Structures are given as C-alpha cells and as structure tokens.
Amino acid sequence: MNYAVIMAGGSGKRLWPLSRQKRPKQVLKLLDGQTLLRLCYQRLIPIFDKERIIVQTNAAYVGLVRENLPEIPAQNIIAEPCVRDTAGAIGLAASVLVKKDADATMAMLTADQLIEPPQALASALKDGLAFVNSFPQNLLTFAITPTAPSTEFGYIRCVQPKKYPCCDSEIFKVDSFKEKPDEQTAKKYLEDGNFLWNSGMFLWKAKTILENLEKFLPESTEPLQNIRQAWAEPEQKTTLYEWFTKIPKISIDFAVMENADNVYAIRLDCKWLDLGAFTALADFIDSDSDNNIIVAGHSELLNCKNNIIVTEQQDHLIAAIGLENMVVAHTPDATLICSKEDAKRLKELIEAIRQHEGDRFL
C-alpha cells in the first residue's frame, strides 16, 4: 500500500522567538491561522487515506502534533528520542512500515515547506507512486524548477527526461547532487537549465531504501533491524531509545542519494518555499504599499519601509515609526529586533542568550 510520512522534527532556530525548543516552527500559526504541519497534511489528504499518513517528530512534540492533527491515529505518530538527521529518520520510518507492510511504498515530505498550487504536488505524487510501484528498485526525488540563482538551496542535476506509460510527468535521471553553491556557481546552474533545487522530498519502496541504507550506511543496519523487530511489541520504547541513538547522524543525501545509481526525479513547476527564516515570508505573504510584510492582528506603521513584522497574538498591537529593512518578531516573553541583513545571525544570538539566560527563553 501507499503511505505518506511527514517529517516534523525540526525546531527552526531562525524563526526565534516564535519558534522554541518546545514549540517548533511547524506548529506556528503564521499563514491565515494555519500551521505548516496542517497545511502539509491537507496537501496529502486527496492522495493518501488518513490512516496511512504518518507523522514523524521529536518525542517532545508528540502532544503538539496530536493537537494540530487530531484526525491522525495515535499509532501513526512516530516519536524520535533524539535527532539523527534525515537518514536516521527515514530509516526509522521505513523500518516501522516494513514491519506493518512488507511491500509498503512511502512518500517522505517535510512539514516546513509551502507549495502552491497544492495540485502540482498532488499530480507529482500520483506519478511518483505509479513510477515506484512499477519500478520498485528505483529511488525517486522531487526537484523544484529554480526561479533565481539561490545560494540557500542544494541543487540536483537532472538529465535524460523520459516519458513512461504509467506517468503524465517526465521522469529525469539524476546525474548528481550539489551542495549550496556560491552566487557565481548558482548563476551558472540557472543558465545551464539542468540544475533544479533539491526539495528534500522523496518516494520509494520502504524495503528498497532499507537495502540502500544497509549498502551505503552499514552502521545503521543493526539498530534499524532491532527497532523493526521490537516495534509494536512490549519492548518497543526501550529498544527505540537504546538503538536509535546509535544510528549515524547524517543526511539521506550524503548517506544514500549521492552514492546510489538508481536515482530519478520528477520536476515540480510550482511556487515552493522552505520556511527557514523570517525573510522567506516575503515569498508567500503580500506586502503593503511600503513593502512591509505584516503578520499581526493589529499594526500601525508610520514612515516604515521594507520591514517584516510578525506576531501570533491577534490582540497585540505593533506600532513603529521610521523603521526600514528591519525584522520585528514579538511573543509574550521575548521580542526580536534586528536588521533583515543580520537575521542570518540568529543562531549566534541564540547561543549568546543560552550563555547568559540559560534555556528559559529558548
């Protein structure tokens, strides 16, 4: 059967103070009162039965996931005891699914992305499911048509487009994966036309990705086998906590995708955003006449230009005079004020806060 796994474990430090250790970015209500997690879920409902949608998250976020998605069966929430990057997360999800369904096909999505129109993803997922179910030894990824020479994303070189009877979309052979480039290299990628943004979304047979992890990341084999054997048994939790920490902390791209020769891609022509920073909101939220991005119930701005003003408190007023190119992010116990240029230093600021205040505001 076909399953969707939503990876929802990231904390989102570049969205502090809205995003915290106990309240990650995927449950922030920044988009018409909707969370990123629910928007992701809603994109999947037309394709997957809700009983076959799984959310994988940090153990500390299980309550938040249940609050946001009460429709999801409790057993469909996989709680990671620690962070092991995407190779570990995907290996865990695949192990759980293989225990349940030896022939499971799994789509891996992330909860911190925005995609418009959602029908573009739905169409690509349907084609991807048909392709992988017809060619079960292949690994499939989804690549985004770039709109600018971005240095914020990794790239995938896609070649040899081919039409398959089972799909409406062209299927590309993946030639190589490229890390985040400098500006000059990004411009060359854009001019080349074969380089697409790496979306971090995948689709494959659960048993196939486990075979590839065993081949390219053998250190993960014993932990994942032990977790799979214990899943849905009385020793499930203790085994998970004992063995999940032993999986190497590495991304699935580094561990498998860059090494395998059976990797293919479907190209997505859509508006796509990996919401990793406040400045990214400009790509999805309309600005006012002075180019201010405002996510607030009440605001009063005099002579303010090119700012990002954010609060989830609908009854809170943000008022400002003469601000330009600034980020203001308000919460009840902490407020961030910085230039848009300096917003990239948020991790540095968070570390300074930790040193002086402990974890109280984090």
pLDDT in tens, 238-280: 999 999 999 999 999 999 999 999 999 999 988 888 777 788 7
Residue 85 CA to its chain's centroid (Å): 12
Task: Tell which of 274, 300, 328 closes a domain.
Answer: 274
Please identify every stretch of the chain with a pLDDT value under 70, giving residue numbers as ranges. Answer: 11-12
Predicted structure pTM score: 0.88
- What pLDDT, on a 0 to 100 scale, did the predictor assign at position 112? 85
pLDDT (0 to 100) of residue 116: 87
Please, where are the H alpha helices in the chain? 36-44, 62-68, 85-100, 118-134, 183-192, 206-216, 221-230, 236-243, 252, 346-357
Q: Are residues 225 and 196 in the same domain?
A: yes
Asked if residue 45 is part of any domain, the answer here is yes
Q: Are strands 155-163 and 170-178 parallel, antiparallel or unpaired?
A: antiparallel
Residue 305 lies in a domain: yes
Separation between Cα atoms, residue 8 and residue 86, nearest integer Å: 11
Looking at the structure, tell me whether residues 199 and 287 fall in a common domain.
no
Which residue type does 275 have?
L
Classify residue 362: in a domain, yes or no: no
Question: 191 and 309: one domain?
Answer: no
Cβ–Cβ under 8 Å, residues 299 and 310:
no
Residue 87 belongs to domain spanning: 2-274
Contact between 204 and 132 under an 8 Å Cβ cutoff? The reply is yes
Structure tokens at 188: 């060359």
Identify whether residues 77 and 186 lie together within a single domain: yes
Tell me if 344 is assigned to some domain. yes
Domain boundary among 235, 254, 274: 274
Same domain for 303 and 258: no
266 and 324 in a single domain? The answer is no
Q: Which residues contact 334 (CB under 8 A, 6 or more apart)?
A: 16, 17, 361
Residue ending a domain, among 240, 274, 308, is 274
Q: Is residue 127 part of a domain?
A: yes
Return the CATH number at 185: 3.90.550.10
Q: Say whether both 173 and 84 belong to one domain.
A: yes
Beta carbons within 10 angstroms of residue 13's beta carbon = 19
Residues 37 and 128 reside in one and the same domain:
yes
